[in-house]
Amino acid sequence: MSTNHSLSPKIVSLPELTPLVNHWKGEGKKIVFTNGCFDLLHAGHITYLTEAASLGDILIIGLNSDDSVQRLKGPSRPVNNEITRSVILGSMSFIDAVVFFNEETPLELIKKVLPDVLVKGGDYKIEEIAGAKEVIENGGKVQVLSFLPGYSSTAIIDKIKNS
């Protein structure tokens, strides 16, 4: 898990992210954080990410490392490695920073960023979301966004396998 600034200056390590967050907070920017694997990016991801970006001034993506994705989704995942996934995300104008995390959840990363808005997709209850308690205790809010129906990386993989 290494950053590759030549491919995208938005791909940062946690030590690089911390002063950026402090700078943005000092400027009064509203920081939004979301996380995910973002393997085989599709229209559902783009819709979700643009909606998350619209909730503030700065969008930070916590990106599951390859090891983290394998633990969560199995040995055949991710299809795209962490560098590919991070470069794709970093190329999007509405994303300000991409940082890897190796754990199963981004709790430790969220505790370091303490965003103004923590965003999660799906049908989670707020109390089930990693970092929600810490964000709320710090005066932030947690927003659950609906997924765009009919889009799934797993469904794309299954379709490819069956064709």
Kindly report, residue by residue over 106-146, the tens digit of the pLDDT: 999 999 999 999 999 987 899 999 999 999 999 999 999 98
Q: What is the pLDDT of residue 76?
A: 82
Q: What is the pLDDT of residue 1?
A: 43
150 pLDDT above the threshold of 90: no
Q: For the beta carbon of residue 74, count every other beta carbon within 10 angstroms.
A: 8
In terms of DSSP H, where are the helices of 1-65? Answer: 14-26, 43-53
Q: What percent of the chain has pLDDT over 90?
A: 75
DSSP H helix total and E strand total for the chain: 7, 6
45 pLDDT above the threshold of 50: yes
- 55, 65, 74 from 101: Cα distances, Å: 23, 6, 17
53 pLDDT above the threshold of 80: yes
Q: According to CATH, what is the number of the domain 11-161?
A: 3.40.50.620
pTM of the model: 0.89
Instruction: Give 2 or 43, the one with higher predicted confidence.
Output: 43
Domain borders along the chain are 11-161
